Amino acid sequence: MKVILSSNQLNELVSTYAYDEVDLKAREANTNPTDGQKEAGNYKKGHVRIAGMSITIENPAGSSRKWKDKNGEVKSTQIKNHYGYFTTTKGKDGDEVDVFIGPNKDNIERVYVVDQKIHGKFDESKVMLGFDNIKQAKQAYLDNYDPDWKGFGGIIGVSLNVFKKWLYRGRKQRKPFKKYILAQKNKILKEGSLS
């Protein structure tokens, strides 16, 4: 018996398989490393490629992420989306650029970047990859933090190509993403092209 699939059915099948692959790789991450392993970064993590970008997953969706509040008390938040970082990048905090992976990462047209702040000042960028729109990306960011979290500093959506230029372009990640985008827009106005 020969089965013929329409292009929509084939795309849905490929999308489902690809997402299952990310879920499987995310589940490889050790969700309970020791403090020493965390400090050294030498514990098992999941490794995937999405849209040509290499991503390491530290916390799969459903796991808990521990953190300390301003009084030093250890708390935890359940992660709603796979969370990790883009390999071979460096964010403002000196670590790799962080990313939350949404449900639609197989058909990425836009990438959303949150300028996170601490005490009113830019802290670092958090990338929202695989979300359908800016509203969904913002809500996912907020859902992955404690309800009292005040670190949301704004969000901007850009094409995948513009995002990749920022991600792999030297020190651009050490300033708010909004500043980078505004500088690029000014450059376009002056020179007539985005480079």
Which SS3 state, helix, strand or coil, does residue 161 take? helix
Interatomic CA distance for residues 44 and 34, integer angstroms:
12
In a domain, 56, yes or no: yes
In a domain, 120, yes or no: yes
Q: Is residue 144 a contact partner of residue 129, using CB atoms and an 8 Å limit?
A: no
Q: Is residue 114 a contact partner of residue 85, using CB atoms and an 8 Å limit?
A: no
In a domain, 2, yes or no: no
DSSP letters of 135-180? Answer: HHHHHHHHHTS-TT---EEEEEEEEHHHHHHHHTSGGGGGS-HHHH
Is 0.75 surpassed by the pTM of this model? yes
Chunked mean pLDDT (size 10), the chain, 195 residues: 68 55 84 83 90 94 83 88 94 91 87 94 95 96 92 95 88 85 78 56
Which helix (H) or strand (E) segment is 129 a member of?
strand 121-129
How many other C-beta atoms can be found within 10 angstroms of the C-beta atom of residue 48?
21
Query: Could you tell me the residue range of the domain that residue 105 belongs to?
Result: 7-191
What pLDDT was estimated at residue 164? 94
What pLDDT was estimated at residue 48? 93
β-sheet bridge partners, residue 74: 68
**How large is the C-alpha radius of gyration of the chain?**
18
How many other C-beta atoms can be found within 10 angstroms of the C-beta atom of residue 70?
6
Q: Is residue 60 a contact partner of residue 81, using CB atoms and an 8 Å limit?
A: no
What pLDDT was estimated at residue 99? 97
Q: Structurally, how many domains does the chain consist of? A: 1
β-sheet bridge partners, residue 85: 56, 98
In a domain, 1, yes or no: no
